[in-house]
Structure 1
Amino acid sequence: MLPEDFKNRIQTQLEDSQELFQILEGDSPVSLRLNPNKKIKQFEDCQEVPWCANGFYLEERPDFYKDPLIFNGSYYVQEASSMFLDTVLRQATRLDEAPKILDLCAAPGGKSTLISSFIGEKGMLVSNEIVTKRVNPLIENIQRWGNSNCIVSNNSPKDFEPLKSFFDVAVVDAPCSGEGMFRKDKKAVRMWSDQLVRSCAIRQKQILESIERTIKPGGHLIYSTCTYATAENEENLKWLAETGNFKSIRIPLKEEWGIEEVTEEVGGENFYGYRFYPHKVKGEGFFITCLQKEGEIISNQKIKTPKKSRKVEFMPKKYLSTFKKWIKDSEYYDFILNDDQVSIFPKSNIHDFRLLAHFLSLKLIGVDIGKFKNGKFQPSHHLAISNVLNKGIPAIELNYDQAIDYLKRQDFDLELGNSKGWVLMKYQNQVLGWIKALPNRFNNYYPMDWRLRKNF
């Protein structure tokens, strides 16, 4: 049952409000986005999401936990409307400039994995989450996606304020009242109130105020919510426009998409936003706008770092030959030490990483490739499912039942042949993780915290 105050407001906002109310009582469309670096064929005949590369609709919702390929990052189940970020990025961002992109409110990782697909290994992505308990799911999804130029941080928006004119793009998918998720999430219906809308609008302005200064002149702010409330959408767009620091980027639409373009006039100029209503669009409720920051572009601007900050330690060069077996194109990376853990990050962005380490609480840096244990290198699960793993590592192809048992960390029969040491487990030619082959047996190194707990 939809809240009466919500219905009353929507009736003043939409002429065809009854159509929206009716469709909100039905089922949500199911959609997912493929990982372009992990080619699979099982969804290639599905209907495409027209505004997103690699986005597809499914006719019905399967039990995704029964598919081993979801656990290695071959695809991500994501709501179709929010995939419009792909179209916005393609309009606003030049990949040849190796953009630095911030996803400020990133958990659980849908938009971050989309951004990661978009930039590939060009530039850098910082995926931030302020809520500590939401950081681990974000890390898991970033690791599964596999790129080496991603950083995960656990910070408040205010922590980014010293990074003036640092990012080329800031994506702010702001915490909101959740009206756009009413069809999908009944808890959002129960939690909703007019007071929640008002408090979210205030919080959104505070977030935008903190992050605006981190964007370079000429850079872009992409702001989105999953709500229909004008207080959280158009009014925030107007508030940003009135600062005088931005101009609006108009996104080309196709009529058959059903997306509604809205305008706010400020100072004689139009500022554009884009609304997704579920009775018009095959997706959930969503709002997005893209603004370009104005001002003089400053090259080589220096950011003052604090006197006391985190010391970054790098792997001594004499040990780097250890990793050539494991890492393809290892010469393109710097190797970062954190106690006995080793991570790699592209040399092209290492200066940016060192700067971020002064100000932010970094929870993941590039690819965590492993650790030294008793003087020997032990490869990580992150390395196994990453895009940097060298070809030629020994591997065994599993059947479906073996793959499920492996993901559950249950015992199963496996013909090892002549395999010894670290061996990859594959399913449909996609890497699931490691085992260590020993004489007459093997040890399962799939992460205990990630194991499949469902019984079926």
Structure 2
Amino acid sequence: MKLPEAFADKMKNILGKEYEAFEAGYDMPRQYGLRVNTLKISTEKFEHIAPFHLTKIPWIENGYYYEEEDAPSRHPYYYAGLYYLQEPSAMTPASRLPVNPGEKVLDLCAAPGGKATELGARLRGEGLLVANDISASRAKALLKNVEVFGIPNSFLINEVPGNISDRFEEFFDKILVDAPCSGEGMFRKEPEVMKAWSEDKPAACARVQKEIILQAAKMLRPGGMLLYSTCTFSPEENEQVIQYLLDNREDFELVPAKGYDGFSEGRPDLAGGNEELKKCVRIWPHKMQGEGHFLALLHKKGDSLNTGAAAVTSAVQDGQQKEEKAVVPASEGLKGAKNITKTDKAVLEEFFCDVYMDIDWSRVEIRKGQVYYVPGALGEQRGVNFLRNGLYLGELKKDRFEPSQSFAMALHKSDYRICLNFPWTDSRVSKYLRGETVTVDDMPIKRQRGWQLICVNGYPLGWGKLVNGLLKNKYLPGWRMR
């Protein structure tokens, strides 16, 4: 791979004797990675059921290399949200921000959702995930990925950071800023990024990054943690941005991120000589099996928070564990609901008598027939352009309730009484994912008509409606397999 001359000269100055090894790395094949969704399945169980050639990514607890021929994006487990396809180094930032269930977490530059989905999975449905992207088109991709992952406690927004910071000052416990950057670390993975690179791009990106990180600092509560990351080698966008924050906010300090033998220290010599910058992490592709990355973990001085290793876990309640607890229909809670009309309540009770999910009906909102389960930690937010506030449950129509695709993805098999469960090898699974009608007269059926939760090996894919032995396909058209 022929590198831009100005970039090569810059890297020679940064790397010195290591440059030859760095340059040779561009002739090596890229690595392919997937990250297990521990909100739905444990890593141990995933290893047991996945028909792929998996090798553990040593510094990511729920990350795996796979072979290109495995084609995991075509497998039904991908549509069930059991994993996210992500470059191995790009998994690092979310893995090093210590998120605990119940916290309020912001991913400020979140699309397409690789880092946001990991943060949401580790919240385990408790607390709040706010995920933002300034691009409306990219924010739509973010919404889909969050919904596929089954994250119920999200607030997805499409705003500039300044508008968010005005409304969320000192609100968040944890913030991740994966800043837009010149992308130098992605040249091998995405050669088109190299073609778009120019010598003045890092400086232009740095100006934006400095503004973003100051807005993020404003939104972090005292005692909170902020993780800044880029996929570039440029010190203007890395150590120099961190030093800019430290110069402008005396209440911030660098703290060491969870280490790994292949990580390299930050470079104080490239940003004024502050030795604290050694606490930053550089990932070099000639030293690790991944692309280039930079990250820095910062603490906002003040009341301490629980930022222990308990946040990084692959523990998950699988279907059997949940089944032991799921004994009360969700419709029972409707009896005390005061924010739902009598007519809507009757329709919802009919559907939710088959749902065994713990729902706080005081958090259910109905807007123009659309039913949402909003996060309890958010409160009222006006003046913010959002795509989704909480979990979209479905739509109320004259005499019925139609559950949504996102609701199906947030359920476990044991959360709904009427399920049709197919093995992934059954040809009807791909037919269902393509939106086709399928026959199910050979399957054990609890109810001959009405809504069925369609599962693959016990993991929900979406809804179908049974009519005379035929399953009318309700899989969301925009998500269908092509």
Query: What is the TM-score with the length of structure 1 in the denominator?
Result: 0.87
Match for 1:259: what amino acid? F
2: CA distance, partners of 1:369 / 1:65 = 26
2: CA distance, partners of 1:57 / 1:440 = 42
Specify whether residues 292 and 111 from structure 1 end up closer, same or farther in structure 2 by C-alpha distance, changes over 3 A only: same
Task: Note the alpha carbon deviations across 1:293-348, whole angstroms, 9 max, x for none.
Answer: 12579xxxxxxxxxxxxxxx95348726453533511237611122111111344x
Structure 1 residue 87: deviation in Å? 4.1
> In the alignment, is residue 197 of structure 1 matched against residue 202 of structure 2?
yes
Aligned residues: 428
Match for 2:124: what amino acid? G
Does the CA contact (< 8 Å) of 2:161 and 2:215 recur in 1?
A: yes
- The one of 395, 411, 419 aligned to 1:371: 395
- The one of 88, 91, 99 aligned to 1:83: 91
Structure 1 residue 214: deviation in Å? 0.9
Aligned to 1:308: none
Structure 1 residue 290: deviation in Å? 0.9
> In the alignment, is residue 288 of structure 1 matched against residue 292 of structure 2?
no
> In the alignment, is residue 339 of structure 1 matched against residue 368 of structure 2?
yes
- The one of 403, 410, 415 aligned to 1:386: 410
Q: How does 1:55-70 map to 2 (within 5 A)?
A: 55-70=63-78
Specify whether residues 427 and 236 from structure 1 end up closer, same or farther in structure 2 by C-alpha distance, changes over 3 A only: same
Match for 1:274: what amino acid? V
Task: Note the alpha carbon deviations across 1:112-135, whole angstroms, 9 max, x for none.
Answer: 111112221232110111100111
What SS is found at the alignment partner of 2:223? strand
Q: Which moved more, 1:29-38 or 1:260-269?
A: 260-269
Q: How does 1:49-448 map to 2 (within 5 A)?
A: 49-90=57-98, 93=99, 95=100, 98-162=102-166, 163-243=168-248, 244-255=250-261, 258-264=262-268, 270-271=276-277, 272-295=279-302, 314-316=339-341, 319=345, 321-322=349-350, 323-326=352-355, 328-331=357-360, 334-347=363-376, 349=377, 352-354=378-380, 357-387=381-411, 390-397=415-422, 399-415=425-441, 418=445, 419-448=448-477
Structure 1 residue 140: deviation in Å? 0.9
Structure 1 residue 361: deviation in Å? 1.5
1: CA distance, partners of 2:54 / 2:160 = 39
Q: State the superposition RMSD in angstroms.
A: 2.5
2: CA distance, partners of 1:321 / 1:158 = 42
Ranges in structure 2 where 5+ consecutive residues have no aligned partner: 305-337
Structure 1 residue 404: deviation in Å? 1.0
1: CA distance, partners of 2:356 / 2:402 = 13
2: CA distance, partners of 1:314 / 1:285 = 51
Does the CA contact (< 8 Å) of 1:43 and 1:56 recur in 2?
A: no
Match for 1:429: what amino acid? G
Specify whether residues 333 and 75 from structure 1 end up closer, same or farther in structure 2 by C-alpha distance, changes over 3 A only: farther
Does the CA contact (< 8 Å) of 2:437 and 2:470 recur in 1?
A: no
Structure 1 residue 79: deviation in Å? 1.3
Specify whether residues 394 and 370 from structure 1 end up closer, same or farther in structure 2 by C-alpha distance, changes over 3 A only: same
> In the alignment, is residue 48 of structure 1 matched against residue 84 of structure 2?
no
Specify whether residues 404 and 333 from structure 1 end up closer, same or farther in structure 2 by C-alpha distance, changes over 3 A only: farther
What SS is found at the alignment partner of 2:360? helix
2: CA distance, partners of 1:118 / 1:332 = 24
2: CA distance, partners of 1:334 / 1:427 = 30
Task: Note the alpha carbon deviations across 1:342-380, whole angstroms, 9 max, x for none.
Answer: 111344x2xx242xx214222112221111122211111
Aligned to 1:306: none
2: CA distance, partners of 1:293 / 1:4 = 40
Q: Which is strand-richer, 1 or 2?
A: 1
Does the CA contact (< 8 Å) of 2:56 and 2:64 recur in 1?
A: yes
Of all paired residues, the percent bearing the same amino acid is: 30
Q: Which moved more, 1:279-288 or 1:441-450?
A: 441-450
Query: What is the TM-score with the length of structure 2 in the denominator?
Result: 0.83
> In the alignment, is residue 7 of structure 1 matched against residue 26 of structure 2?
no
Specify whether residues 105 and 170 from structure 1 end up closer, same or farther in structure 2 by C-alpha distance, changes over 3 A only: same
